[in-house]
Amino acid sequence: MYEQASHSLLNEILAELKPEIGNQRLRHFYTRLGANFYAIHSLFHLLYGERADFKEQMVSLVETLATRYIERTPALRKSDLAREKDYNWFLSQKWVGMALYCDRFADDLKGLRANLPYLQELGINMVHIMPMLDCPPDHSDGGYAVRDFYRIDPRFGTTAEVEALAATLRKRDMILVLDVVVNHTSDAHEWAQRARRGEQKYQDYYFVFDDRETPDIYEETMPEIFPATAPGNFTWDAEMGKWVMTVFNNYQWDLNYRNPAVLIEMIDIILFWANQGADILRLDAVAFLWKKMGSVCQNEREAHLLLQLMKDCCQVTAPGVLFIAEAIVAPGEISKYFGEDAINAKECEIAYNATLMALLWDAVATKSAAVLNQGIKSLPNKLERATWLNYVRCHDDIGLGFDDNDIRRAGFDPAQHRRFLIDYYTGRFPGSVARGLPFGENPKTGDARISGSLASLVGLESALESQDEAAIDAAIKTIVLLHSVILSFGGIPLLYYGDAVGTLNSLEYLADPAKAADNRWMNRSNFNWNKAEKRHQTGTVEQRIFSALKKMIALRKETQAFADFDNRQLLALDNPSLLLFSRADTHRNRVLVVGNFSDAAQTLSIEALRAHGYFLQDGMKDLCSGTRIGMVDDALVLPPLSCYWLAD
């Protein structure tokens, strides 16, 4: 009965569409709308069914989908059809991404197009450009405080240049990832400005209150995201004379998705950027989308319903476009952003594997894979048509968000262990070679996150200063080891610009008053093209890192076992220094990945491998070096800080 009512409502809505939409021949659009309307209507009704204007809002939603479909170019519609047929295209091992700031990597969009050969030389074919939308220059939060969702910041170029970049990437068999900030706007956004002027319509776009009574109820359970720089979750706006919810920074106003107009506006924004040629859209801060008194206002069920609605609507208008969930949440929560109780992703096809990232940094500091192995065992299962985004470093701080129980199982006290990690990476621990800074340090709890570039955190900066060749070699080996894991683990590996040439911490940000209080800018440096040129000079640090990563990326693309079809098996070992897992393709060709996180050589016994079905006669072939790894006393010998991709 409900499905019949839904079908009847669809006919009513179609009859009410604007003539310029209703008169169009939109065969594929109507087919997809019919296939997805039951889900769209059901979700919309769950969220907004009690509203008197429910039908009016549904008409507005469908008109938005149709309008953006009409604007979609023939080339993009053709891509949609191809990806609907090859719907697992993104699970292939051929995709390797890089995240970068357009201005810091290449000045602007024209510069980025001109420097695509550098990315292709390395093997990158998925380009994630950090936010480029118009933001106030002094309060941009690195591009996440958006003033205009439809306008590129003039420093980068124009919307037309985004389209041109997307077209160029397609010709090079590369894909484009863009950000959409879905949780909040800048307080300089037109909606916020009109709310300040007293327009009730736009005050309803946010969480706005006359006094502290309701904000104080929220504050009882909401954590502070930036306790040192932005304590609390509400800001008094003197011009408006009201309190407004500002979870991240006081100039970022949280959107109120209890208002369906906000959801429709955001879906329109998502489809606008899909129409500019984005293949994948990274949805920022999705865990925060729904606010509920008496809760932490993260990971609420309604947030998942909103994401399902966004996905279903995108399936109607731009089905070839994927979503990345930027949800840096507890390990048990992250897989929910693929969608629960399903085979195919109902929300986002891709999610950041923040847990693996944090576990890798644990292994580097401890020189042991003990916590890493425990944490991998506890990683939640993904859906069949979904995948992880695996990364070593990103633009943000490093949080230590792995499970306390995994730390205990590895034999450590969670609080003491995290204290050690913070001290190690900020150089407070005796003998530490890391050059990082604490970020968001909470004086009440002692908790902190960590800022710093990959190279500086693994000791390359301190090694270069002391000209210690052994320490330089160890730092380079650690960089390669970390990347070898993300390239082989299962999912899409995402490199960070600068890491392939050993970029160190930058302190330039201290001279900019708008950035000086945020030490994350030390790992958001301007790309040094003179340094990058050294990748062609034999024996340089840059050449040693770049050539090793380039070779591994090429080998990954050739190795079908690295495609992500739930084909990874973690293998148990008695040696806590080692990480060992196998990957297999559909023809049962296997690759054994083994990483030694110790700064001493380790052995892997043949008996241990035989227990997992590996029967060796004369060692195993390492795909990276092309040589066979020899045996001593019936064991494979693994040098310090090494990783092998072994084929039997």
Beta bridge partners of 570: 581
Q: What is the pLDDT of residue 58?
A: 96
Q: What is the pLDDT of residue 174?
A: 98
Taking residues 507-530, what's their average pLDDT?
Answer: 95
Asked whether the predicted pLDDT for residue 248 surpasses 80, the reply is: yes
Angle separating helix axes 301-317 and 260-275, nearest 10 degrees: 40
- CATH annotation of 91-178+287-562: 3.20.20.80
Burial class (CB in 10 A: 0-12, 13-18, 19+), 396: middle
Tens-digit pLDDT profile for residues 374-413: 999 999 888 889 999 999 999 999 999 889 999 999 999 9
Residue entry with tokens 């806590």: 576
Contact, 459 vs 471, CB < 8 A? yes
How does the average pLDDT of the chain come out, rounded? 93
* DSSP secondary structure, 507-538, as one string: -GGGG-TTTTT-GGGGGSPPP-HHHHHGGGST
Query: Which SS3 state, helix, strand or coil, does residue 432 take?
Result: coil
Stated length of the chain: 648
Q: What is the pLDDT of residue 631?
A: 76
Between strands 642-647 and 568-570, the pairing is unpaired
Q: What is the pLDDT of residue 334?
A: 87
Residue 474 to residue 391: CA distance in whole angstroms = 20
Burial class (CB in 10 A: 0-12, 13-18, 19+), 562: buried
Asked whether the predicted pLDDT for residue 294 surpasses 80, the reply is: yes
Q: What is the pLDDT of residue 629?
A: 79
Please report, rounded to a whole number, the percentage of residues in the chain having pLDDT higher than 70: 98
Q: What tokens appear for 101 in the block?
A: 């700031």
The top-level CATH class assigned to 568-647 is mainly beta
Q: How many CA atoms lie within 13 A of 606 on its CB side?
A: 14
Taking residues 233-253, what's their average pLDDT?
Answer: 97
Q: What is the pLDDT of residue 267?
A: 98
Q: What is the pLDDT of residue 288?
A: 97
Asked whether the predicted pLDDT for residue 46 surpasses 80, the reply is: yes
Question: What SS3 string covers 275-329?
Answer: HCCCCEEEEECHHHCCCCCCCCCCCCHHHHHHHHHHHHHHHHHCCCCEEEECCCC
- Phi, psi at 370, each rounded to 5°: -60, -55
Tens-digit pLDDT profile for residues 413-439: 999 999 999 999 999 999 999 999 999
DSSP 88: T
Burial annotation 37-65 (CB, 10 A radius, 16+ → b, else e)? bebbbbbbbebbeeeeebeebbbbbbbbb
Q: What is the pLDDT of residue 2?
A: 55
Residue 252 to residue 245: CA distance in whole angstroms = 8
Lowest mean pLDDT among 161-165, 309-313, 614-618: 614-618
Confidence band, pLDDT 50/70/90 cuts, at residue 616:
low
Q: What is the pLDDT of residue 3?
A: 63
Asked whether the predicted pLDDT for residue 615 surpasses 70, the reply is: no
Q: What is the pLDDT of residue 367?
A: 97
For residues 77 and 440, the model is more confident at 77
For residues 193 and 573, the model is more confident at 193
Separation of first and last alpha carbons in the chain: 58
53: amino acid identity, one letter: D
Taking residues 496-524, what's their average pLDDT?
Answer: 95
Q: What is the pLDDT of residue 8?
A: 81
Beta bridge partners of 237: 242
Helix (H) or strand (E) holding 610: helix 606-610
- Select from 354, 444, 446 the least CA-distant residue to 402: 354
Tens-digit pLDDT profile for residues 262-279: 999 999 999 999 999 999
Confidence band, pLDDT 50/70/90 cuts, at residue 113:
very high
Distances in Å between the alpha carbon of 90 and those of 126, 279, 280, 494? Answer: 11, 10, 10, 13
* DSSP secondary structure, 10-60, as one string: HHHHHHHS-HHHHTS--HHHHHHHHHHHHHHHHHHHHHHTTSTTHHHHHHH
Between strands 590-596 and 578-584, the pairing is antiparallel
- The domains of the chain are located at 91-178+287-562, 568-647
CB neighbour list of residue 286: distance below 8 Å, 6 or more residues apart: 182, 183, 303, 307, 325, 326, 327, 337, 348
Catalytic residue numbers read 284, 326
Q: What tokens appear for 17 in the block?
A: 């569409």
Q: What is the pLDDT of residue 635?
A: 85
Taking residues 442-455, what's their average pLDDT?
Answer: 89
351: amino acid identity, one letter: A
Asked whether the predicted pLDDT for residue 343 surpasses 80, the reply is: no
Taking residues 134-145, what's their average pLDDT?
Answer: 93
Residue entry with tokens 């998942």: 304
- Phi, psi at 18, each rounded to 5°: -55, 145
Asked whether the predicted pLDDT for residue 280 surpasses 70, the reply is: yes
Q: Taking CA 504 as the corner, what is the angle to CA 498 and CA 505, rounded to the nearest 5 degrees? A: 110
Q: Greatest CA separation found in the chain?
A: 81
Helix (H) or strand (E) holding 495: strand 492-496
SS3 content of the chain, % helix, strand, coil (to 5): 45, 15, 40
